[in-house]
Amino acid sequence: MFVGHYSVAFAAKSHKNKIPLWVLFVAVQFLDYIWATLVLLGIEKLRVIKGFTAGSMLDSYFHPYSHSLIAAIAWSCIAGLAYRIFCGRHSFYRKYAALIVGAAVLSHWILDLIAHPRDLAIYDNTWKVGFGLWNYRDPEFALEIGLLGPGIMLYLTRNAMPAIRKTAVIAFGVALVVIQIGHTYVPRTPLTDKATAMGVWVFYTLFVVVAFLIEKIGSRRQTNAP
């Protein structure tokens, strides 16, 4: 699962919980941030094999600290708690926001479960599960887009915003679809495990920066409005 994860970030944000969109963008990919970091440190193991599955080249054969169910639940609790600690004192903090952030982190594992070929452990490195939708390129792609679209629609309907930001959000959505098309359909030579992990850090952080900037668009005008 790739851009489909961001569907949860868009859908989770509302004017009631006031969680910054960029925080949710980090949350839904939090497990992959941990994973990429641990791969760079040589602790978790990854092979990049052309044609490993129809929709992905990643053979994540050892990732118990980032992608086992027990680890995912633990990271969700840590992320929710961190949000409570760091944002609890701010005026925008709302009750239950930490729970939503934690649930957003856990959503990553649930969506990965659909796409991954039996490489997700329940605990440690055993009892591996995964429905393997990555073995079917078009349905997996359809699911990514089928999730992202409604997520963005929900974001646009649940949050009042100036027209210019609405346009920017839609443009961002289109960009994510184009990136997913490239990811799924454009053939490329496999990178090394470390380069792949670096790529995850760079691209995911770029999306986080865009999510941050997008919620600034037209915000001054909105505050000054009578």
Residue ranges binding Zn ion (CB under 5 A)? 32, 112
Q: Whose Cβ is closer to Zn ion: residue 13's or residue 116's?
A: 116
Shortest Cβ 223–Zn ion spacing (Å): 37
Q: Whose Cβ is closer to Zn ion: residue 32's or residue 44's?
A: 32
Residue 94 phi/psi, 5-degree rounding, is -120, 150
Shortest Cβ 179–Zn ion spacing (Å): 16
Shortest Cβ 66–Zn ion spacing (Å): 7
Shortest Cβ 109–Zn ion spacing (Å): 8
Q: Whose Cβ is closer to Zn ion: residue 3's or residue 161's?
A: 3
Shortest Cβ 115–Zn ion spacing (Å): 9
Q: Whose Cβ is closer to Zn ion: residue 116's or residue 165's?
A: 116
Q: Whose Cβ is closer to Zn ion: residue 97's or residue 197's?
A: 197
